[in-house]
Chains A and B, each alone.
Chain A
Amino acid sequence: MKIQNIVTLVTYLPAAAALALLFFPRRSGRAIRLFSLIACLATFVLSLHLLYHFDGNNPGMQLEESAPWIETRTFNIRHHLGVDGISLFLVLLTTFLTPLAILSSWRSIQDRLKPYMICMLTLETGMLGVFLALDLVLFYIFWEVMLVPMYFLIGVWGGENRIYAAVKFILYTMAGSLLMFLAILYLFYANGATTFDLVEISRNLATGVLRLSPGAEFWLFSAFLLAFAIKVPLFPFHTWLPDAHVEAPTAGSVILAGVLLKMGTYGLLRFCLPLFPSAALAAAPYLSLVALIGIVYGALVAMVQADLKKLVAYSSVSHMGLVVLGIFAFTLQGLEGATFQMLNHGLSTGALFLLVGMIYDRRHTRLISEFGGLAHGNPLLATFFLVVTLSSIGLPGLNGFVGEVLVLAGTFLSNRTYAAVAATGMILGAVYMLWMYQRVFLGKVTNPANNAIPDLEAREKLILVPIVILMLGMGVYSSPFLRRMDSSMDRVVKRIQSARAERGYRVQTHEANIEREKLAHGR
């Protein structure tokens, strides 16, 4: 059975549920929780439809829906949604993690529950819209609107330093995205002021109907890059991330790390590479270098953290550096590995934040020094934590391994030194994760407060089991995932290659011109 307008339905179902929540009485906490959970689960089930109807051999957009939205004399903005091999699994990741995040806040959120759930649900719509929008303005609108619920999640339900973190989060993101907004406008006028449609603009760029001067391409690329680099976050722009992750409530951290960071790398794949391939080629060596710095720096800083959540936050900087490295290798393995690694990071870091949240709910502290020997009284917690830790450091048989190997292989094809340095980063990753695990779970119980804490309850198992199953599944049998990415990624690689060929040609002709001039002067 094929549902009409499935993509629109998936995108707006959570927002519709949020609207419905407005009419719930404030006191009926149970009903609010159940309703939100059911809405998210329904969205997840609907999003599985995308997977079912997705054709892995088609590199273009599928299940497209396009309707006029804002039509005026000056602008023509369409409500254009669609899915391809780049966005498919990110959509699924979003719909998969959101119900788990809601389940994780079942008990911990008591104060102002209704607004909390409204924020979570609108946030989900915002994230799905970012991954599915194919009109540049529509994309930008989702990108910005999503900031507002996240801002409230951090600022209202966050930790001690929440206001600082929330303000920093929104200012950093907006500082990046507003320049992208101008770049979108520029692109619109450069393309003849007819459309903001991504598919059409990228077709015009690829076929040469729309030609950008190298200078313009460089600036447009930079504007998009800045917005995405802050979101990823790429090395010097990462300072908002530890604050936001640490101060956000558990569910907020899960969504932040699990999905929001992916929006940055998704943007690189969706916009920066296909729209501005020659600028991307020129920038690749520098960006790879920055990504490498991020990998090593993130790992080193994570190693010395005293707070569990901060450690996980810095590990994100390291892991997302790897994703960026894979993207700018411009090889099929690199791109697929990067996308796979995005999913891995979403699962493993999301799960880590969930577990840290569970520990925090029990002990109301996240300091590593407060723990030790937790495995004695809490075998289940320790086991789940171990699996997630191993997934995060890329143990073969679990999902992390597949992504890391692909990224490293893809990078190796384009630059061996980079691959070698990145591999070192992986080792450092194992060091800080395992060391942390050792200090928290192994050894004797040194702190008497840790003796009395209860092991996982049914709800928490319900959250963790699906994640762990998926980790195993993706680690053992990854081809169903990779197969569906193949053709879309291949198209991006081809686009880059044709730009490289063109660049080579341009350089040659430039050299030829110099030769010719020399000859002329000689004569």
Chain B
Amino acid sequence: MGAEYAPILPQLILVIGGMLILLLEPFTASARKSRLGQIAIVACTLAAYGLGRQGTGPRAVVFQGMFIADNFTFFCQWLFLVITGTSALISLRFNEREAMNRGEYYALLLFASSGMSLMAASGDLILTFLGIEILSIATYILAGFKRADARSNESSLKYFLLGSFASAFLLYGIALVYGSAGSTNYQAIRELAEVHGSGQVMMLIGLALLLVGFGFKLATVPFHAWAPDVYEGAPTPVTAFMTVGPKAAGFAALVRLLVEAFPSLEPNWTALLWFSSVLSMTLGNVVAVLQTNVKRMLAYSAIAHAGYILVGIVAHNRSGFEAVLFYLVIYTVMNLGAFCIVLSLSRKGDLQVNLENYAGLGRRAPLAAAALSLFLVSLAGIPLTGGFIGKFYLFGAAVQQGYIGLAIIGVRNSVLSVFYYFRLIVLMYMREPYEGRPDPEPISLAVLAITVLGAIAVLWMGIFPAIFLNLASNSTLALK
């Protein structure tokens, strides 16, 4: 039995941490709720420690093929722990300010994290669905955590309704695949699909429905409609978490599902994802140009980046999957970094997040402005930042596989994205500060640390990316 539980130790730590927070919550004075957040961070650290002790190793399949512990899982879990820990850290002060400092917040973050890990490790449709639901339900609540704020409520409700809709699609897809394959296990589905090829209509419909469900969860076009409103209305740290965490987990689960269960139906899913990729990149970037609210702009940019990542999946070669993993890491770093600055500049009531509030920031807060510029430059994919290496890999994989048209659409979109990312830089450095601006608030130590570490990471991944790329390469090797 012990051998069965060893691979899921990090998840166990997260869940136990979450329950501990829930237990302690009623006994903690409201002024000291931040302690509970600190417990969450400790739980993440412990889980990371446990993960590090496990180390990389040969593929271990436990719980009757449900849970796959391999280098891919290992890589993704690291990423998820970083996302969760950072999200908890940047929430501490925000939650105090917005008077929403309750322990459940941190417990939900930990539960979401365990859901994400299950998604990446899943070798069975049922576990994939459970992981998605654990993550989703936690994030539905987190999005509406600012109970007194109508926008936060709207965000939560919208996310919940459309999310349940997506879950229904997923379930229906799972049912059809199960019906045609007789099993929900990836290995079994794969074997059967290989025998029947793409001749089996029921399985094809099932796969299509699964892709629709994933499309909703990943906010790729045409299933993106919920994302901007939800991202705008949710409390900023939750938005930061939502643009990276569920996205990374969704892509990890999608890659595993497609590679391990449906390699024989590859012409079918690449065709569908090709369109979704093109639409996501184009719509995300075009609409981002029109935004005046920074959170909304980053929401549309998140849609566009999902489109870029899909390029790697469409290429479906090893370089492509490497590129997906690397891009998930760099996207996490630069997006969390950007949100971290947006957060530290926002004011009570989640105000001051419009573009014009950034006018003259270069003079008012030079460090924040410089860091935000770096993250934006990286999001735009300018060389010497990790964002460039990420796009280099994604489009390289597409060119290698002969998807030149897709690559051309991708780089055209990059030019477009430069326009709106640089517009923020224009505001910060080339315009004078606006009247009636608030005095800069001192940046908290946590935010400062995350910003500096993020900036170093972005440059490191841009200048000496080999170590990260080789890690990603080893992790994709595990997929079979």
Contacts and interface: CB of A to CB of B under 8 A. Distances in A.
Interface stretch (B3-11, B29-37, B150-158, B414-422): B414-422
Interface string A409-421: 0000000000000
Contacts of B470: 72-73
A155 interface: yes
B311 to A, nearest CB: 12
B419 A181 contact: no
A116 to B, nearest CB: 12
Given A70-B466, A179-B411, A171 B418 contact: yes
Contacts of A175: 412, 415
A182 B404 contact: yes
A141 B469 contact: no
Nearest to A176: B415
A148 B466 contact: no
A520 to B, nearest CB: 37
Interface in A147-180: 147-148, 151-152, 155-156, 162-163, 166-167, 170-171, 174-175, 178-179
A141 to B, nearest CB: 4
A72 B473 contact: yes
Interface in B225-261: none
B422 A170 contact: yes
A141 B384 contact: yes
Interface string B47-65: 0000000000000000000
A248 to B, nearest CB: 13
B395 A174 contact: no
A171 B419 contact: yes
Interface size of A as a range: 20 to 34
B422 A167 contact: yes
B473 A179 contact: no
Contact of B396 (A75, A140, A166, A179): A75
A71 interface: yes
Contacts of B319: 74
Contact of B382 (A75, A144, A193): A144
Contacts of A24: none
B393 A74 contact: yes
A286 interface: no
A185 interface: yes
B223 interface: no
A156 B430 contact: yes
Interface residues of B, number: 37
Interface string B375-397: 00100001110001100110111
A48 interface: no
Q: Which of A71, A72, A175 has the most CB of B within 10 A?
A: A72
B408 A179 contact: yes
B200 interface: no
A186 B383 contact: no
Contact of B400 (A156, A170, A171, A189): A189
A25 to B, nearest CB: 14
Contacts of A71: 466
B426 A185 contact: no
B429 interface: yes
Contacts of B404: 182, 186
Contact of A166 (B408, B426, B464, B473): B426
B412 A186 contact: no
A63 interface: no
Given A74-B393, A162-B430, A182-B411, A148 B382 contact: yes
B317 to A, nearest CB: 10
A141 B383 contact: yes
A152 B414 CA distance: 20
Given A156-B430, A182-B399, 6 more contacts: A74-B322, A74-B473, A75-B392, A141-B383, A141-B388, A167-B422
Interface of A: 70-75, 137, 140-141, 144-145, 147-148, 151-152, 155-156, 162-163, 166-167, 170-171, 174-175, 178-179, 181-182, 185-186, 188-189, 193
13 contacts: A70-B389, A73-B318, A74-B319, A75-B393, A144-B382, A148-B377, A155-B429, A166-B430, A170-B418, A170-B422, A178-B414, A181-B395, A189-B399
**5 A-B pairs with the lowest CB-CB distances in the bound complex, closest first:** A178-B411, A141-B383, A72-B469, A185-B399, A74-B319
